[in-house]
Amino acid sequence: MISHLRISKARLAFILGALAMLGPFSIDTIFPAFAVMQGALQVDKVAMQQTISMYLLGYAGMSLFHGPLSDALGRKPVILTGILIFTFASVGCALSTTMPQILFFRVLQGLSAGVGLIVGRAIVRDALDGHDAQRLMSNISMIFGVAPAIAPIIGGWILGWSNWQAIFWFLSGFSALLLLVSALALPESHPVEKRLPMNVKFLANGYREIIGNRKFRLLAYAGTANFGALFLYITSAPAFVLDLLKLNEQQFGYFFVPTIAGMVIGAFFSGRAAGKISGVRLANIGFAFCGLSALFNIVYSGLSPTLHLPWAVLPTVLSAFGIALVFPILTIAILDMYPNQRGGASSMQAFVGLLSNALIAGVLSPMLSDSGLHLALGSAVFTAVAYGMWRWYLAHTDKAQLPEASQDAASLEPTDEM
């Protein structure tokens, strides 16, 4: 029980994990319906890909405000408002009959979908410190990780007995349930006396300070690029599953289930390692798995003229496992840089990542998803950039301030300014 919030850690992890599911559900559930929607709306594959990139642009733009709004108004009101808007946007998508209408409501979904993930990170650090925060973050990652695995399966099932609009009706029902659960069970973790003023000048100065911090940039870029290696495959799932693996709309699970299983196992291991393995060492292990994934992927895709299971998805499993080890370490370190602006720091971290994801979905995925080798090379570049940013961070950090094996992951954040 987290005494000052009057909620158990398990219940809080479940609620925050479920809230974080809105994002991947919004993307992955509609993947099986891409071909059907393409015909119904009379658009091409590139236009359908924009339903992802436009969603992500909305997600990225609003991510700058979710955190500061929660710093000023409290965590719970911001979360409830965001879920309400998402529910309305999902109904709008279900009732849309043209591509411009779909894109409008997809942007609106994006503007609201990130509220649970971004504000949820701030709630974790409001509630807990050190090892406990890393464990809770890892537990949330395990719950959150289920969403990308089951979302396309749910989408395929829905498409099997109904039309593509039913997928958006499902999303509206899911978000309405989350709204009810959050209203009844989610506590407020940010008391009035700790809230910050919400004004443009204060917000601009805060973000200028955050983005101007080299330590923040290096860690944010490392996390963004590391996840980008996997997100390239996630956003290319329709082409990867249907065109390259030659599977059907009901078989997206062959890609997503093992991949997300790797992420869930990695998150479990990260939680168990808290307080036993230093943050630096755990992150290095995670990057090693990502590097192994990239190497195997390039060799297999280069030597095999056609992709086959299970070898084609083994690299994404290894990558997801490594990402799950790295991500909690980097995120907690970033949040600890700004103990009085955790919402703002979480928002800026999300903004950097989402801009990258929008670029991947709208530009790189259409360019690279024509072959397995192109995807493998693109993914490997992201992994190399991520590791380079991480090593740069370590090189500019006083070694005496890095955590020892007995210290917690949050102590990764050094106190010197670069």
Q: Among 6-15, 66-75, 92-101, 140-149, where is mean pLDDT lowest?
A: 140-149
The reply to whether 3 falls in a domain is no
| Mean pLDDT within 322-338 | 84
The reply to whether 4 falls in a domain is no
Tally of structural domains, the chain: 1
| Mean pLDDT within 98-123 | 88
Ramachandran angles phi, psi of 7, nearest 5° = -150, 145
Residue 174 confidence (pLDDT) above 50: yes
Q: Are 80 and 179 in contact (CB under 8 A)?
A: yes
Q: Which pLDDT does position 222 carry in this prediction?
A: 93
Q: Which of 242, 252, 243 is nearest to 158 (CA)?
A: 252
Residue 105 confidence (pLDDT) above 60: yes
Q: Which pLDDT does position 318 carry in this prediction?
A: 95
Q: Which pLDDT does position 33 carry in this prediction?
A: 87
The reply to whether 113 falls in a domain is yes
Between 8 and 3, the more confident residue is: 8
The reply to whether 165 falls in a domain is yes
Q: Among 24-38, 152-166, 270-284, 366-380, where is mean pLDDT lowest?
A: 270-284
pLDDT digits (tens, 9 = 90+) for 177-225: 999 998 888 887 777 777 776 667 777 787 888 888 888 889 999 999 9
Record the tokens describing residue 159, joined without a space: 């498409």
Which pLDDT band holds residue 393 (cuts at 50, 70, 90)?
A: confident
Whole-angstrom distance, CA of residue 216 vs CA of residue 348: 10
Which stretches does DSSP call E strand in 286-403?
none
Q: Which pLDDT does position 403 carry in this prediction?
A: 41
| Mean pLDDT within 123-152 | 71
Residue 415 confidence (pLDDT) above 60: no
The reply to whether 2 falls in a domain is no
> What percent of the chain lies above the pLDDT cut of 90?
29
C-alpha distances out from residue 187 to 11, 72, 156, 180, 334, Å: 11, 16, 35, 13, 24
Q: Which pLDDT does position 387 carry in this prediction?
A: 94
Whole-angstrom distance, CA of residue 375 vs CA of residue 206: 37
Mean pLDDT over the full length of the chain: 82
Which pLDDT band holds residue 131 (cuts at 50, 70, 90)?
A: low
Q: Which of 230, 262, 9, 311 is nearest to 131 (CA)?
A: 9
DSSP state of 276: T
pLDDT digits (tens, 9 = 90+) for 136-150: 766 776 676 677 778
Whole-angstrom distance, CA of residue 26 vs CA of residue 30: 7
Overall size of the chain counted in residues: 418
Q: Which pLDDT does position 402 carry in this prediction?
A: 46
Q: Which pLDDT does position 406 carry in this prediction?
A: 31
pLDDT digits (tens, 9 = 90+) for 39-57: 888 888 778 878 888 888 8
Please, what is the end-to-end C-alpha distance for the chain in angstroms?
39
The reply to whether 238 falls in a domain is yes
Amino acid, res. 409: A
Which domain does 353 fall in, by range? 9-412
Buried b (16+ CB within 10 A) or exposed e, 297-327: bbebbeeeeebeeeebbbbbbbbbbbbbbbb
The reply to whether 417 falls in a domain is no
- 319: domain CATH number? 1.20.1250.20
The reply to whether 72 falls in a domain is yes
